[in-house]
Amino acid sequence: MLGFLARRTATGLLMLVALSVLIFGLLRLTPGDPIDAYINPSVPMSTSDLAVLRDRLGLDQPLPVQYFAWARAAISGDFGYSIQRSGIPVLPLVMDRVGPTALLMGAGLVIAIVVGVAAGIVSAVRRNAWPDISMSVLSFVGISSPPFLSALLGLYFFSVLLGWAPSGGMQTPGAPYSLLDVLGHLILPAVLLSIGHAALIMRYMRASLLEVLNQDYVRTARAKGVKEFWVIVKHATRNALLPVITLIGSTIGIAVGGAIFLESVFNWPGMGLLLVNAVSTRDYPVIMGATLVIGACVIFVNLLTDVAYAFVDPRIQVS
């Protein structure tokens, strides 16, 4: 297990390096001059002043030199300073947003897993009956609904039209901190984030469970007189969860994209909103820092997913 973790950690570090190179190169390929983000357009600057500023920021160096200078500082925890936030260090700024995003994504994924697995089991057990047909229709609708459409429709119906949930933010402005207040603001974006993932998990769980229910050991358990409830829960569901675990791990990255839309719509103070604002203001250091932190989180979750295989199915050996 330790050797497996070491190899996967090394692979994850290489992926982070590749991600940093890709993002750094793409940012430099965007239209415009990076120096424009550092100057006030209303304040005229001479050519010599621009040259001095470019030299101080290292923007007059070749791209490989610029990247290695940034990477050398990033390894020590220095991701630079935000351009648009009066020189605030990037790393504390990004880490302050990790908690709200983790809360939103964690709540959304928990809802998606619970609802998706339960609906998949019911749909497989009641195959071709009305629960299966209705859940299949709902799952296709959920899979086909893009996150921004679900967010806008959910905001309009449940916040504006019905007034059942707050329309944005993480807590009520001016009110003292309250866990119930945070949960009240969390429930709607978390449910909306879970829709597509729950639908996808339901489809995978249904297909996997139907395949497992036709295995010989399930028929043997039934022939021995084991109650149908325990046949489903103890013998079939555990083995049917393997493809679902794979799906959950691979959808973390997709959930990040959905969280970016939801945080923008609901003004949720997380990584997504920070990244959107950084892109709109061309805050390059924040874009680099936020992207790397998100990438590290996705790689870490995928590592946990691989380790979870061994606990769900003892036949799988990690090596």
Residue spans per domain, the chain: 2-75, 90-312
Average pLDDT (231-239) is 77
Q: Reply yes or no on whether the pLDDT at 319 is more than 60.
A: no
Helix/strand/coil (H, E, C) string of 193-228? HHHHHHHHHHHHHHHHHHHHHCCHHHHHHHHCCCCH
Short-list 263, 298, 284, CA closest to 104: 263
pTM: 0.77
Q: Reply yes or no on whether the pLDDT at 270 is more than 60.
A: yes
Residue 234: its pLDDT value, please? 75
Q: Reply yes or no on whether the pLDDT at 71 is more than 70.
A: yes
Tell me how far apart the alpha carbons of residues 245 and 1 are, in angstroms, rounded to a whole number: 19
Give residue 9's region: left, alpha or beta (phi > 0; psi -120 to 50). Answer: alpha
Domain 90-312, what architecture?
Orthogonal Bundle (1.10)
Check: CB of residue 188 under 8 Å from CB of residue 154.
Answer: yes
